[in-house]
Amino acid sequence: MTIKYLLDENVDHIYQAQLRLYKPDLVVLVVGGLDAPPKRTLDPDILCWCEENDFVLVTNNRSTMPVHLVDHLAQGRHIPGILILNPNFSIGQTLDELILIAEASFDDEYQDQIINLPLSKLR
């Protein structure tokens, strides 16, 4: 599977820079960046953008994103997946998880799901 990540605007941009450094073939966009939704795009619109462009959303939004996903699915829509970052992880641990997911995932493995990191049981 070739995962593409869209980082929510509240995710530190260091993740994009470091992912590009360690995995240059991985497509990583940030809300507010080129070819991505503009800053302050509403969460339901970001989910639609991810669906239409086949991007997995990476976010810190634990509170409202589950509600938005339920609403999105209720409309008969889909999403490649949502990954919620672990606030207790270091940048390095988070990067390891995102790279592992990008390298080892099956097609549609995270479709219509919210996955809380860590995914690996090695932590």
pLDDT digits (tens, 9 = 90+) for 18-74: 999 999 999 999 999 999 999 999 999 999 999 999 999 999 999 999 999 999 999
Whether residue 73 is contained in a domain is answered as yes
* Cα separation, 43 vs 72, whole angstroms: 10
Q: What are the φ and ψ backbone dihedral angles of 7, each rounded to 5 degrees? A: -90, 130
Whether residue 89 is contained in a domain is answered as yes
Q: How confident is the model at residue 85 (pLDDT cuts 50, 70, 90)?
A: very high
* Cα separation, 80 vs 21, whole angstroms: 24
Whether residue 37 is contained in a domain is answered as yes
Whether residue 87 is contained in a domain is answered as yes
Whether residue 121 is contained in a domain is answered as no
Rounded to the nearest 10 degrees, the angle between the axes of helix 14-22 and helix 91-104 is 50
pLDDT on residue 2: 84
Q: What are the φ and ψ backbone dihedral angles of 27, each rounded to 5 degrees? A: -85, 120
Residue 120 has pLDDT above 90, yes or no: no
pTM score, whole prediction: 0.94
Does the bond joining 118 to the residue before it have cis omega, within 30 degrees of 0?
yes
Whether residue 122 is contained in a domain is answered as no
* Cα separation, 44 vs 70, whole angstroms: 10
Q: How confident is the model at residue 123 (pLDDT cuts 50, 70, 90)?
A: very low
Whether residue 123 is contained in a domain is answered as no
Total domains present in the chain: 1
47, 57 Cβ separation under 8 angstroms: yes
Domain of residue 54 covers 9-116
Whether residue 3 is contained in a domain is answered as no
The mean pLDDT of 8-23, rounded to a whole number, is: 95
